[in-house]
A and B are shown apart, each in its own frame.
Chain A
């Protein structure tokens, strides 16, 4: 039985890849069409979204502070079409949502406790996840995830060592969650993959699939095993087809929702 320990963005993957390069799965199915595949999996999904039925953060709000103990002030991230599948709530959306629900002369804002306030904001802004960036060194940074209206994760997280900006926050989120990609579907040796925080720009990548990770929102350091190694074949925007290089012994397939550590291969 072969174990691959999770080493986020570590060089260990290179060695593994090298070791198994001659033991690749021998079947040679034709490469599926990526656009057709995306259309296929999108059709008929209950929430009409490719990733919504997968247990990952789909939409995150980064709360810097609270104004009047009610109105969240957000860390703004630019939402580009091809900057990963994860969406971020914006200041403009906060203003719109709060204006529609707590208008002058209408419904009164309540001085809710922090957790309820956070949940209310998440509902208003359609966020399943929130990260509270505390200015107070005595209050830890927190990651909150909810499934419908139930909080299923509310944990302390480590703040980044460097100040956050639009680019670094995505990398830091990948490190915090423990993954930056997810398996959407498989067809024989091919895997349809979504990149959560950046787009596939055509450069070669490899992916490490994390074992039994399909139902996990956050992957803890060093406690999770790899279940397979993938290599990039084709991509559009945030989506790509990877080919299975090998699977761990006993693993026959990569379940939908399996988390991935994606890493660019050095062209040199």
Chain B
């Protein structure tokens, strides 16, 4: 029996020593990651440190999704200043360089380029580069061009995680980039010839081993785990380091394109969620267990002056607007608006004409989002209250007389429809609102209907206020709106010498204005 075992051992050892190589067997190398930014900003620095650590971890052996990883350890630098890790005879360099509207990612072995690709540069922050899902895709793209995508232990079955499903990867088909089949090999490097010299050992297929359900934040979520089923040419006699790459080859074009397309879609998702420039959201995310990206909440104050009506009274009109909108969190979708037209008056033949009104509303937005020319369409049914006090001039052929309309406190119902275009540095919104006051026996029998159209543009200059833990980010608002208001009295009144019935009145105003918003 002992003799038989010995024979088997000898045969196996002979087999695996066939075709030994002339080059040195490699161990996982170290990596130096260098971020090169256009300007130094402490806020950016926090995000870059986080991004670098997360990316470096994914590039380490078994550190990424599906167990991918090539490097043993890493160090991080920002503009040549070390921020993490130790520098120790690195031969591999990952440069992440900010160039205008793109960020270029280049992997080099000494001075030889191994891979190069670029991603959008959202000028206000690097916080989108801390997103776990996006970093998973970037690490796959980088490792696709290294001499090995993954290192698998030959005598140990391990399970590996899936790509992190953050909101940036929402609705994306990630199956296309799952590394399904690998070629297994040992790997040597000949520095004289600058050649990677593999020894083919076998193949491995991915296997989804379980779909676990875990309670996270009180919710059940699905977690996919994977293992690699290895098919070796023969049993290995000892634990040796096996390297593996996609069977389709290093830096396979189809694989690269699939990852690149997904990255592109992920960035569009971020754009659509209008979160790119909002560092505060990342701060928020840091507190949560997931680093998904969310749309900002807004508090906006605006002032608009009348530009359309030409008469003495309405020509003086102006608006004060306050808006509060929640786009993430517990009350996501809630929208509160308060608009006031302070009292203005003018002297007329019949005396003093005047008008003042204010209204507030609270609504709930239902939205559909797109990766297209338009990024979002929403409808917001709302309810509120209206108050109006006016004495408006009625002009006939022979005379001018005043007519009073009073609404002390009337309930209003309304519907808003809006479409949005979202870019990293601005948000443009075109909208229309129809509102109608309801009858109330307690109040004057005057009905009011309003139809408005408008355009709002918010510009995000990319600074944050040094209060409330730097979570507030100001933005500049400009807007224009045209409003048609119908006033209708159920009881007509005789107000003039010509006994004219005045039961309804319509006037149109247009406003142009600006304001200041705060996002978090």
Partner-binding segment picked from B51-59, B245-253, B352-360: B245-253
Task: Spot the interface stretch: A13-21, A68-76, A104-112, A240-248.
Answer: A104-112
User: With an 8 A cutoff between CB atoms, is A97 at the interface?
Assistant: yes
- Contact indicator per residue, chain B 233-267, by CB within 8 Å of chain A (1) or not (0): 01000000000010001111100100000000000
CB atoms of A81 and B15 under 8 A apart: yes
In the complex formed, the residue of A with least CB distance to B185 is A96
Interface of B is mostly: mixed
Closest beta carbon of chain A to B115's beta carbon, Å: 7
Q: Mark A226-240, 1 if CB is under 8 A from B, else 0.
A: 000000000011110
B22 touches A48 (CB 8 A): no
Residues of A within 8 A of B192 (CB): 149
C-alpha gap A49/B185 in the complex (Å): 18
List chain B residues, Cβ under 8 A from A52.
Answer: 17, 20
Among the stretches A35-43, A162-170, A251-259, the one at the interface with B is A35-43
Whether, in the assembled complex, B428 has its beta carbon less than 8 Å from a beta carbon of chain A, the answer is no
Whether A101 and B196, one on each chain, are in contact in the complex, defined by CB atoms closer than 8 angstroms, is yes
- Nearest residue (CB) in B for A82 is B11
- As a 0/1 sequence over residues 19 to 47 of chain A, the CB contacts with chain B under 8 angstroms (1 = contact) are 00000000000000101101100100001
Residues of B near A103 (CB, < 8 A) are 145, 249-251
- Which of B183, B199, B251 touches A106 (beta carbons < 8 Å)? B251
Query: What total count of A-B pairs have CB within 8 Å?
Result: 105
- Bound complex: CA A35 to CA B1 (Å): 13
A48 touches B20 (CB 8 A): yes
* Closest A residue to B199 using CB positions: A126
Contact B17 A100 (CB under 8 A): no
- Give min CB distance, B40 to chain A, whole Å: 32
Task: List, in ascending order, chain A residues with CB within 8 A of B147's CB.
Answer: 100
* Interface check A1, CB cutoff 8 A: no
**Using a CB-CB cutoff of 8 Å, which residues 123-174 of chain A contact chain B?**
123-124, 126, 148-149
| Shortest Cβ distance from B251 into A: residue | A103
In contact, A105 and B195 (Cβ under 8 angstroms): no
Task: Check A115 for interface membership: any CB of B closer than 8 A.
Answer: no
Bound-complex Cα distance A239 to B18 (A): 14
B172 in contact (CB, < 8 A): no
A82–B116 Cα distance when bound, in Å, is 45
Chain A residues with CB below 8 A from B250, complex form:
99-100, 103, 106
The listed residue (B20, B112, B116, B197) touching A105 by CB distance below 8 A is: B116
Residues of chain A touching chain B, judged by Cβ–Cβ distance below 8 Å, are 33, 35-36, 38-39, 42, 47-50, 52, 58-59, 81-82, 85, 87, 90, 92-93, 95-97, 99-101, 103-107, 120, 123-124, 126, 148-149, 236-239
Q: Could you name 12 residue pairs across A and B whose Cβ atoms are closer than 8 Å?
A: A35-B6, A35-B7, A38-B10, A42-B17, A96-B183, A96-B200, A105-B115, A120-B193, A123-B190, A123-B197, A124-B195, A237-B14
